[in-house]
């Protein structure tokens, strides 16, 4: 059954790239944490195995425990559970070499299989194929920044590149934005005219109100005076009768 794995310590150009093996691989050749297949595994007494990068993250912890099951390990030997390169005399951390010839004979697909490469061959032939023969490497178009298979780049630029369309789309968008801005400007002017009309009416109303208030203040003394005179006349008529 095909399975995708990543290698580390095999060769720089293939390290940590997803590689699709066409055959089932044994579980004990992978790091228990990151599932990478390294050139060297460090095995703990609990049975879990670590690649160098994962082991370095736990090497300085005290007490020394496997973070996957919290089982303790270690001793007082120099270098024990401290440095993957020094080893351990008591054997509490075992060194397991993985990238053996048996693994190199496993059938794999090209790293660029998803881009259309149909290569299937032994792992030990993948490096040469990938570096020399594969025609499906992906590059970035310098015009539109789209990822394109290198051998199709000129065709892409001639037919599919979005940069030309992008310029026309930008111009169209610019024109649309200009029309919207113009409409907003007209609406803004109309709104300002309405606001000015309301302000003018408000000011006129305030003036009329002030004039009425002034007139009322002028009339009140006269009204009071007339009221007194009327009362006086009424009193005089009553006395005369």
Identify the residue with better confidence: 6 or 237. Answer: 6
Residue 167: the pLDDT is 62
The answer to whether residue 73 sits within a structural domain is: yes
The answer to whether residue 218 sits within a structural domain is: no
The answer to whether residue 146 sits within a structural domain is: no
Residue 137: the pLDDT is 94
CATH code of the domain covering residue 24: 3.30.40.10
Above 60 in pLDDT, residue 177?
Answer: yes
The answer to whether residue 196 sits within a structural domain is: no
Average pLDDT over residues 98-104: 80
- How far apart are the C-alpha atoms of 125 and 107, rounded to whole Å? 10
Overall domain count for the chain: 1
Summarize pLDDT for 4-44 with one digit per residue, the tens.
999 998 888 899 999 999 988 887 899 999 999 998 899 99
Above 50 in pLDDT, residue 90?
Answer: yes
The answer to whether residue 233 sits within a structural domain is: no
Residue 33 lies in domain: 3-134
Element (H, E) at 121: strand 120-122
Residue 208: the pLDDT is 86
The answer to whether residue 172 sits within a structural domain is: no
The answer to whether residue 21 sits within a structural domain is: yes
CB 74 within 8 A of CB 80: yes
Average pLDDT over residues 151-164: 81
Q: Which of 116, 115, 119, 109 has the alpha carbon at shortest distance from 147?
A: 115
111-124: string of b/e by CB count within 10 Å (b at 16+)?
bbbebebebeeebe
């Amino acid at each position: 059954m095909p399975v995708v794995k990543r290698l580390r310590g095999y060769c720089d150009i293939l390290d940590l790239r997803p590689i699709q093996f066409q055959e089932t691989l044994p579980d004990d050749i992978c790091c228990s944490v990151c599932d990478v297949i390294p050139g060297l595994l460090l095995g703990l007494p609990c049975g879990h195995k670590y690649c160098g990068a994962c082991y370095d993250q736990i090497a300085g912890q005290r007490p020394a425990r496997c973070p996957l099951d919290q089982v303790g390990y270690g001793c007082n030997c120099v270098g024990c559970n401290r440095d993957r390169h020094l080893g351990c005399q008591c054997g509490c951390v075992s060194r397991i070499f993985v990238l053996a010839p048996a693994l190199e004979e496993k059938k794999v697909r090209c790293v660029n299989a998803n881009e259309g490469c149909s290569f299937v061959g032994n792992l030990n032939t993948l490096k040469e194929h990938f570096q020399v023969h594969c025609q499906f490497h992906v590059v970035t178009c310098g015009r539109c920044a789209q990822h394109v298979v290198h051998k199709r780049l000129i065709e892409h630029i001639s037919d599919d590149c979005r940069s030309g369309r992008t310029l026309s789309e930008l111009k169209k968008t610019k024109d649309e934005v200009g029309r919207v801005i113009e409409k907003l400007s007209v609406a803004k002017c109309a709104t300002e005219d309405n606001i000015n009309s309301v302000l003018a009416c408000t000011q006129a109303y305030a003036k009329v109100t002030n004039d009425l208030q002034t007139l009322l203040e002028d009339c009140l003394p006269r009204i009071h005076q007339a009221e007194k005179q009327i009362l006086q006349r009424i009193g005089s008529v009553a006395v005369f009768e």
